[in-house]
Chains A and B, each alone.
Chain A
Amino acid sequence: MAEEVVLLNFWPSIFGMRTMIALEEKGVKYEYREEDVINNKSLMLLEMNPIHKKIPVLIHNGKPVCESIIQVQYIDEVWSDKNPFLPTDPYQRAQALFWADFIEKKLCVCGRRAWTTKGEELEATNKEFLELLKILQSELGDKPYFGGAKFGFVDIIMIGFYCWFPAYDKFGNFSIESECCKLMAWGKRCMERESVAKSLPDPEKVVGYVLQLK
């Protein structure tokens, strides 16, 4: 059966980047559709994600899968023949899911606050953001990737932040490279992968986008 895969996305979204990387890793051909999420969400988006009305939405043979972490797992299960993202061992899988959840619950939430707060609250947010990055860096340790020797699930969930780091640096008035050099090295290592290089926008574009928002 011909596979029809459509991705509704918004180019600066770190969530959308996860799904794009996952599809590229598996060599899945897909149609990318840019959504104007700020001013004019498409009817297709509202129909395919009526609950949250958010991107990214993965539409596989007409059926929607919502939430990027769920999309990445789905892609791993459907196109299971190459480049597995999650380990086969249940305990290792639980650890990978834990760190993805940590990134989602803590880093993403804190990251979002960096753009919507100022003054003392922003100072506190920036401090927390760096602490969270340090926890992740500590979890990475001396491994090339979060899962060990191979690029995998947690790397896919986290790497979108890498193209946002210069924006965070600029507006947070700190340097992620000085605070978390191992994490930066990990980011550069991931960028050597075609799937990642193709899916992450130019960090300068991201800075431009944030400037426009502020």
Chain B
Amino acid sequence: MANEVILLDFWPSMFGMRTRIALREKGVEFEYREEDLRNKSPLLLQMNPIHKKIPVLIHNGKPVCESSIQVQYIDEVWSHKNPILPSDPYQRAQARFWVDFIDKKMYDAQRKVWATKGEEQEASKKEFIELLKTLESELGDKPYFGGDDFGYVDIGLIGFYTWFGAYEKFGNFSIESECPKLIGWAKRCLQRESVAKSLPESEKVTEFVSELRKKFVVE
């Protein structure tokens, strides 16, 4: 049966990046469709009526929503190559735990780093660096979060790397000095074709965030 795969996405989304990477890891041909979030397409609203958000993965006309769920789905459907989740149930639970941690904590924390100023921003920076250090500590000396192989947690986190330049610029700090091992990990991931092809240039993201910041912060 012909596999028709469409991804409704928004280029700077660190969540969309997860799904792009997963599809490429599995060698799945897909049609990428850019969404204008100020003018969401009827298809997006129809395929994700509950949240009305990207990314939306549409496989043979049927939608799968939420990036972590999409990555797991892709891993299960195209199970023949490059497994994303480990096969051991305990390792799987650990991988899910860390992606859940990223989902629950990272998004709000990072947002406050570029969308605030003054004391609020200082406090947000501190919190954000703590989160990165927690993740760096979990990585330890392993090449990837899951060990020797690139996997679920790496896919869950790597998209945020493209936003690091923006955090550093607006937060006025260096992530490399705070978390050198994490930067080392990110550069290692970028050597993978699936990642390099799925992540936008950091400079473009910084420019995008710069525009976005104007809506939240009066300098």
Judged by a CB distance under 8 angstroms, whether B69 is at the interface is yes
In the assembled complex, which residues on chain A have CB atoms less than 8 Å from the CB atom of B100?
67, 69-70
Secondary structure type dominating chain B contacts: helix
Instruction: Say if the beta carbon of B32 comes within 8 Å of chain A.
Output: no
Contacts of A90 in B (CB 8 A): 73, 76-77
Complex contacts, A191 vs chain B, CB 8 Å: none
Q: Which residues of B contact A205 (CB under 8 A)?
A: none
Question: Which residue of chain B has its CB nearest to the CB of A76?
Answer: B89
**B101 is an interface residue with CB less than 8 A from chain A:** yes
Per the bound structure, the CA–CA distance linking A71 and B96 in Å amounts to 10
Instruction: Indicate whether B50 reaches chain A with its CB closer than 8 angstroms.
Output: yes
- Asked, given contacts A67-B100, A91-B62, whether A97 binds B72 with beta carbons under 8 Å apart, the answer is yes
Interface size on A, residues (CB 8 A): 22
> A70-B97, A70-B100 in contact; A93/B89 too (CB < 8 A)?
no
Contact partner, A66, options B66, B73, B97, B134, Cβ 8 Å? B97
* A77 to B76 Cα, complex, angstroms: 14
Chain B residues whose C-beta falls within 8 Å of the C-beta of A71 in the assembled complex: 93
User: Across the two chains, which residue of chain B brings its CB closest to A97?
Assistant: B69
Residues of B within 8 A of A (CB): 50, 59, 62, 64-66, 69-70, 72-73, 76-77, 89-90, 92-93, 96-97, 100-101, 134
- 19 extra interface residue pairs, beta carbon distance < 8 Å, beyond A65-B97, A67-B100, A91-B59: A60-B90, A66-B97, A69-B100, A70-B93, A70-B97, A71-B93, A73-B93, A78-B89, A90-B73, A90-B76, A91-B62, A93-B76, A94-B72, A94-B73, A97-B66, A97-B72, A98-B65, A101-B69, A102-B50
